[in-house]
A and B are shown apart, each in its own frame.
Chain A
């Protein structure tokens, strides 16, 4: 829509739109006033009816503009003054053709017509004129390219003619006029159509429904035409009541938002899965508070976790589970009494001790000793140790540690033995072999993992003289005592009964001290698989008995009776013995050893100094008699490497090396002039054996020397060494003394060759 400014030429016309307004102030009623307004309207109407004419003429030519002059009845010039006075230099407006034409044409009509008009005629005129204008516009739009009719609405600037009004008023208003009653008639103007935008829809002539649409348009136009004055259409007005607004307030509790999170860890899922498969009823019974939904176990744990801790939901879920079970064990005492706690204590103690003993144990196990990088060892001690290392290049015993504790202090050690299956387990017997009064004795089972406290402690009523672990049942420990009792202990569990068998009820039990007990594997049994182990004991009453574990205890069978032999050389001794003969024809056996490979053959060392080789099968006759010692044979042992060689030691200060076939000893060793109480072969090297003779420990290496022991280790003053034991697999030797200490020594700088047989050494 183009806006154009309508420039009224002041000379051409004078229009005063405010005339109507100021007509009120005028005292005289002038007909022309009404006419004036009507004139305007009429002019518009006329303009509307003549629009067609005007528009048609528009393109042709511009209507010549005549100066318009309006005269009233009296002949006064009441030509409306123009509202807008064009200033010089203003843009020449486009010719407001519409209104121009209106006014140009209207004046000619107006001049012709009279002033009195009827409203109704206006209405009808208006009504008749409007459709025509609409139709014209409709037709126009079809014809013209430019669909938008050029409607020029004059922008009527605010009249700068206020002065003019006043001027007018000044002329006419008098005092009398002011007091007059003025009738004011307000009428409503008809609708002035300022803008008419016809439908923009282009109808293509070829479309199918074009015709239908055109018809409908025509119908509608007809309808609008018929609407006025038609009884079918009644004007009505409606009023909707707007309800009074009312305020209403609601208050709710604040919705609390809580963040929840959970970790779905692998073990959490696994636990839930496992618990699902467990009995769900029992769980519900135990935990009435927590509702365990077995179908959603995992998610439930997640929810449980959120309610407990904020540290982490993994911790939360664990704790929740634990708190459920905590109902049972809230008492700290109960916790400490549980099995697992005691086990934890055990492991803890071992760890602590291992920390302390680590270098020693490493040396024992022949591992490299790791120096603690954080230890605050003073440099002086380091120097000392270095010096020590440099000086001793000769074979020596290095003390590693000692098994000792409060419990065992002061006891005399009588026997030490390793467990056959667990090489870290050591059984030690403490006791005083005093024939006068029977003192209770002690058996302690030590573990290498804890040298400060024994794992098991057994109390025996009599002095224990011999120990041996079983090979078939590694937890069984056979005990031979001074009063002749033989017992079998089990070392397995802490709390159960330890002694599982006792020979005190056997009728054929020994009444004299049992000096040695041995488990030995016998011949293949009927089943052919397991070799039955027999417990064989040698006692001071001269019997060698084989014990069997029956349902009601131990039963024994005599294997051999050690008969005293007549020794023609020593008649004095014989005579003494003759007197004893009356009492018993048996001589005490002090030690025995089974052949390592042929378990039916065994050697017995007797009080007389004889060594007798016997057979299990033959219980009457001796196979061989080795005679050389003239004092009681204290210890006898087959060599673990050479099957025919054995060692014997006796109170006659000698150690004899025998070969099985030869009835005289092959070698004889003497070092100190004291009775040799024990001799042991080393299980690691074939030519090394250890011997103790009360005040010192001697290590003999047959490769190096057969005259002197390679290592001589003196015991501490006042302490007698009573027992010696080698340990398999390591180069350590254990020495038990009369103070209750089992000291572990490491053989240092011993250049030993492996695999050399003693026989070769002997033969060379």
Chain B
């Protein structure tokens, strides 16, 4: 557990990382470093996106599954590690 916390701290302290959100399957954020409003917004929107992406991947080949999703936008990059039980979302601005 300590190791996990340490890793999260390390990630948070990396250059340009704006926030980390961990969401469970119901869409409820477990752990977050952003404010509540943004967290809820991210959680809800990204949930839908991941479901759609996963559906797409599995439609093409049902034995395949989504492992990582990166959304690069003008201002930042959202990286999502989806899993059966949770979503791990990190927002980073790499040019900071």
Interface residues of A (CB under 8 A from B): 265-267, 269-271, 311-312, 314-315, 318-319, 322-323, 325-326, 329-330, 332-333, 335-338, 340-342, 344-349, 351-353, 355-356, 358, 372, 374-377, 452-453
Contact = CB atoms under 8 A, between A and B. Distances in A.
B7 A345 contact: yes
A372 B88 contact: no
B59 A374 contact: no
B48 A352 contact: no
Interface in B41-96: 48, 51, 54-55, 58-59, 62-63, 67-68, 70, 74-75, 77, 79, 81, 83-86, 88, 90, 92, 94-95
B84 A325 contact: yes
Given A341-B4, A353-B14, A375 B24 contact: no
B33 interface: no
B1 A337 contact: yes
B58 A351 contact: no
A332 B77 CA distance: 25
Contacts of B22: 332, 335-336
B28 to A, nearest CB: 9
A103 B68 CA distance: 114
Interface string B15-43: 11100001011100011000000000000
A271 B62 contact: yes
B68 A347 contact: yes
A349 B10 contact: yes
A216 to B, nearest CB: 80
Given A345-B8, A347-B67, A348-B90, 20 more contacts: A265-B55, A267-B55, A267-B58, A267-B59, A270-B63, A271-B62, A318-B54, A323-B25, A326-B25, A335-B30, A336-B22, A340-B83, A342-B4, A342-B7, A347-B68, A352-B79, A355-B92, A356-B15, A358-B94, A374-B75
21 contacts: A266-B58, A266-B62, A267-B62, A270-B62, A271-B62, A318-B54, A322-B26, A333-B1, A335-B22, A335-B86, A337-B1, A340-B85, A342-B3, A345-B7, A347-B81, A348-B11, A348-B88, A348-B90, A349-B7, A358-B94, A376-B95
Contacts of A270: 58, 62-63
Contacts of B59: 265-267
B24 A335 contact: yes
A335 B22 CA distance: 10
A352 B83 contact: no
Contacts of B10: 349, 452-453
Given A351-B68, A351-B70, A376-B95, A345 B88 contact: yes
Contacts of B26: 319, 322-323, 326
Nearest to B28: A332
Nearest to B47: A315
A352 B92 contact: yes
Given A341-B88, A352-B11, A355-B92, A336 B58 contact: no
A336 B4 contact: yes
Contacts of B90: 348, 351-352
A376 B24 CA distance: 34
A342 to B, nearest CB: 6
A336 B1 contact: yes
Contacts of A342: 3-4, 7
A271 B70 CA distance: 26
Nearest to A342: B4
Nearest to A271: B62
Nearest to A337: B1
Contacts of B67: 347
B62 A322 contact: no
Contacts of B54: 318
A374 B62 CA distance: 36
A495 B13 CA distance: 24
Nearest to A450: B10
Chain B CB count within 10 A is highest, among A355, A372, A375, A376, for A355
Contacts of B11: 345, 348-349, 352
B58 A352 contact: no
A356 B77 CA distance: 12
Contacts of A323: 25-26
A739 B13 CA distance: 22
A326 B86 CA distance: 10
B16 A356 contact: yes
A397 to B, nearest CB: 24
Given A356-B16, A376-B95, A351 B79 contact: yes
Contacts of A314: 51, 55
Nearest to B63: A270
A338 B85 contact: yes
Contact of B95 (A322, A345, A377): A377
Nearest to B90: A348
Contact of B25 (A322, A340, A341): A322
A329 B68 contact: no
Nearest to B70: A351
B33 to A, nearest CB: 13
Given A314-B55, A333-B1, A352 B17 contact: yes
A453 to B, nearest CB: 6
Contacts of B86: 335, 341, 344
Contacts of A338: 85
A599 B90 CA distance: 50
B94 A356 contact: yes
A375 B95 contact: yes
B48 A315 contact: yes
B74 A374 contact: yes
Contacts of A329: 85
Contacts of A352: 11, 14, 16-17, 79, 90, 92
B11 to A, nearest CB: 5
Nearest to A311: B48
B58 A345 contact: no
Nearest to B16: A356
Contacts of B70: 351
Nearest to B14: A352
A377 B94 CA distance: 11
Nearest to B55: A314
B31 A336 contact: yes
Nearest to B96: A376
Contacts of A333: 1
Contact of A332 (B8, B31, B63): B31
B88 A318 contact: no
Given A349-B7, A352-B17, A341 B95 contact: no
B39 to A, nearest CB: 14
